[in-house]
Amino acid sequence: MTPLLLDTSSWVEYLRDSRSPSCERVDELIRNNAVLATTDIVIMELLAGAREPDDRKKLWAFLNRCVMLPVRPMFEYEKAAELYLRCRANGFTPANTNDLLVASVAIGKKVPLLAADADFEHIASVSSLKLVA
Protein backbone atom coordinates (compact mmCIF):
# COMPACT_ATOMS: atom_id res chain seq x y z
CA MET A 1 0.00 0.00 0.00
CA THR A 2 1.34 3.45 -0.94
CA PRO A 3 1.88 5.72 2.05
CA LEU A 4 0.37 9.18 2.21
CA LEU A 5 2.74 12.01 3.12
CA LEU A 6 1.23 14.53 5.52
CA ASP A 7 2.53 18.08 5.39
CA THR A 8 3.03 20.07 8.57
CA SER A 9 -0.08 22.11 7.77
CA SER A 10 -2.30 19.01 7.88
CA TRP A 11 -0.82 17.87 11.17
CA VAL A 12 -1.33 21.32 12.66
CA GLU A 13 -4.99 21.37 11.59
CA TYR A 14 -5.45 17.95 13.18
CA LEU A 15 -3.58 18.78 16.40
CA ARG A 16 -5.57 22.00 16.82
CA ASP A 17 -8.77 20.03 16.15
CA SER A 18 -9.81 22.77 13.72
CA ARG A 19 -12.61 20.69 12.16
CA SER A 20 -11.29 21.79 8.78
CA PRO A 21 -11.43 19.35 5.85
CA SER A 22 -7.75 18.58 6.38
CA CYS A 23 -8.30 17.95 10.10
CA GLU A 24 -11.21 15.62 9.37
CA ARG A 25 -9.18 13.78 6.71
CA VAL A 26 -6.22 13.19 9.05
CA ASP A 27 -8.63 11.98 11.75
CA GLU A 28 -10.21 9.56 9.27
CA LEU A 29 -6.79 8.30 8.11
CA ILE A 30 -5.67 7.64 11.68
CA ARG A 31 -8.95 5.90 12.59
CA ASN A 32 -8.60 3.68 9.50
CA ASN A 33 -4.95 2.84 10.23
CA ALA A 34 -3.84 4.27 6.90
CA VAL A 35 -0.16 4.11 6.05
CA LEU A 36 1.04 7.64 6.80
CA ALA A 37 4.44 9.06 5.97
CA THR A 38 6.55 11.92 7.20
CA THR A 39 9.87 13.51 6.35
CA ASP A 40 12.66 15.37 8.13
CA ILE A 41 11.31 18.85 7.38
CA VAL A 42 7.84 18.06 8.69
CA ILE A 43 9.28 16.60 11.90
CA MET A 44 11.45 19.68 12.46
CA GLU A 45 8.57 22.09 11.82
CA LEU A 46 6.22 20.21 14.14
CA LEU A 47 8.73 19.91 16.96
CA ALA A 48 9.69 23.58 16.62
CA GLY A 49 6.05 24.48 17.21
CA ALA A 50 5.59 22.18 20.20
CA ARG A 51 6.32 24.35 23.21
CA GLU A 52 5.36 21.91 25.95
CA PRO A 53 6.95 18.51 26.70
CA ASP A 54 3.52 16.84 26.58
CA ASP A 55 2.95 18.27 23.11
CA ARG A 56 6.28 16.85 21.92
CA LYS A 57 5.39 13.44 23.39
CA LYS A 58 2.05 13.50 21.57
CA LEU A 59 3.79 14.41 18.32
CA TRP A 60 6.34 11.64 18.67
CA ALA A 61 3.54 9.14 19.28
CA PHE A 62 2.02 10.12 15.92
CA LEU A 63 5.30 10.44 14.04
CA ASN A 64 6.67 7.11 15.25
CA ARG A 65 3.82 5.32 13.49
CA CYS A 66 4.70 6.97 10.17
CA VAL A 67 6.87 5.65 7.38
CA MET A 68 9.97 7.83 7.22
CA LEU A 69 10.75 9.36 3.81
CA PRO A 70 14.09 11.08 4.44
CA VAL A 71 15.29 13.99 2.37
CA ARG A 72 18.03 13.02 -0.04
CA PRO A 73 20.04 16.27 0.01
CA MET A 74 21.60 16.19 -3.45
CA PHE A 75 18.32 15.13 -5.06
CA GLU A 76 15.50 16.88 -3.21
CA TYR A 77 17.31 20.19 -2.77
CA GLU A 78 18.02 20.36 -6.49
CA LYS A 79 14.41 19.42 -7.28
CA ALA A 80 13.12 21.98 -4.76
CA ALA A 81 15.18 24.69 -6.46
CA GLU A 82 13.81 23.62 -9.85
CA LEU A 83 10.26 23.77 -8.45
CA TYR A 84 10.92 27.25 -7.09
CA LEU A 85 12.12 28.45 -10.50
CA ARG A 86 9.17 26.80 -12.24
CA CYS A 87 6.74 28.46 -9.83
CA ARG A 88 8.40 31.86 -10.33
CA ALA A 89 8.29 31.43 -14.11
CA ASN A 90 4.54 30.86 -13.75
CA GLY A 91 3.95 34.00 -11.69
CA PHE A 92 3.94 32.47 -8.21
CA THR A 93 6.56 32.84 -5.48
CA PRO A 94 6.27 30.12 -2.82
CA ALA A 95 6.08 31.64 0.66
CA ASN A 96 8.05 28.84 2.34
CA THR A 97 10.95 27.00 0.76
CA ASN A 98 10.38 24.10 3.17
CA ASP A 99 7.16 23.43 1.25
CA LEU A 100 9.26 22.96 -1.87
CA LEU A 101 11.35 20.34 -0.08
CA VAL A 102 8.25 18.51 1.16
CA ALA A 103 6.84 18.57 -2.38
CA SER A 104 10.16 17.30 -3.75
CA VAL A 105 10.10 14.36 -1.35
CA ALA A 106 6.53 13.51 -2.38
CA ILE A 107 7.41 13.77 -6.07
CA GLY A 108 10.67 11.83 -5.72
CA LYS A 109 9.06 9.03 -3.70
CA LYS A 110 5.94 9.07 -5.88
CA VAL A 111 3.60 9.44 -2.91
CA PRO A 112 0.52 11.66 -2.64
CA LEU A 113 0.58 14.62 -0.28
CA LEU A 114 -2.10 15.89 2.07
CA ALA A 115 -1.65 19.58 2.86
CA ALA A 116 -3.78 22.40 4.20
CA ASP A 117 -1.50 25.00 2.60
CA ALA A 118 -2.70 26.53 -0.68
CA ASP A 119 0.89 26.97 -1.88
CA PHE A 120 0.95 23.26 -2.64
CA GLU A 121 -1.83 23.73 -5.20
CA HIS A 122 0.41 26.16 -7.07
CA ILE A 123 3.36 23.78 -6.81
CA ALA A 124 1.20 20.92 -8.10
CA SER A 125 0.09 23.03 -11.06
CA VAL A 126 3.68 23.20 -12.34
CA SER A 127 4.84 19.71 -11.37
CA SER A 128 3.87 16.07 -10.99
CA LEU A 129 2.95 16.57 -7.32
CA LYS A 130 -0.19 14.61 -6.48
CA LEU A 131 -2.40 16.17 -3.82
CA VAL A 132 -5.19 14.38 -2.00
CA ALA A 133 -8.29 15.93 -0.52
Residue 58: predicted pLDDT: 87
User: Which residues, in sequence order, are CB contacts of 44 under 8 Å at separation 6+?
Assistant: none
What's the average pLDDT block by block, 10 residues per block, for the chain (133 residues)?
94 94 95 96 94 88 94 93 97 95 97 96 97 91
Whole-prediction pTM? 0.93
CA 51 to chain centre: 20
Distance of alpha carbon 9 from alpha carbon 95, whole angstroms? 13
pLDDT on residue 1: 82
pLDDT of residue 55: 85
> What residues contact residue 50 under an 8 Å CB cut-off, 6+ apart?
56, 58, 59
DSSP string, 40-77: HHHHHHHHHH--SHHHHHHHHHHHTTSEE----HHHHH
Which residues, including other chains, have CB under 8 Å from residue 86's CB and lie 6 or more apart? 126, 127
Q: Which fold has domain 4-125?
A: Rossmann fold (3.40.50)
